[in-house]
Structure 1
């Protein structure tokens, strides 16, 4: 299984992405998925997508990307977190299988 590079973005690349980073570390660890998490500002996502497998963002996605992009507001609101976690894990497993 390959190690995935996952971009974790928020508006400024500091506050909410840090919260989501912690949740993702636990989620990927609990599911045995090897990842490298990269914390960024959403404005950097387009230029960094070439070196990443997936994008997880706490803010509105300003454009479309060539990699799977998942909106992770549920980690901040607490609404729909089970569905969100399943979507992230399923996407990561598909990417690892490629």
Structure 2
């Protein structure tokens, strides 16, 4: 299984993406997924998507991306967190089977 490169974004690249980073790190650790996480501002996502496999964002996505995206507001609210985690794991599974 190759290392998954994940962009974790929020509006400013500081506060909510830090919370999301921790949740994603924990999720990957629990599921034995080797990943490289990069914390960014959402405005950087378009220029960095070619170097990543997935984008996880705690803010509204301003455009379409070529890589799979996950809206991870649930990591902040706790509502629907299981669904977001399942979506992330599903994307990782699909990436590893291509």
TM-score category, normalised to shorter length: over 0.9
The corresponding residue for 2:45 is 45
Gaps of 5+ in 1: none
SS at match of 1:40: strand
The alignment yields a C-alpha RMSD, in angstroms, of 0.5
Alignment: residue pair count: 98
Q: TM-score, normalised by structure 2?
A: 0.98
SS at match of 1:33: coil
What is the distance in 2 between the residues matched to 1:14 and 1:51?
21
Q: TM-score, normalised by structure 1?
A: 0.98
What is the distance in 2 between the residues matched to 1:61 and 1:96?
25
The corresponding residue for 1:83 is 83
What is the distance in 1 between the residues matched to 2:33 and 2:25?
10
Residue 11 of structure 1 pairs with residue 2 of structure 2: no
What is the distance in 1 between the residues matched to 2:78 and 2:55?
20
What is the distance in 2 between the residues matched to 1:34 and 1:21?
14
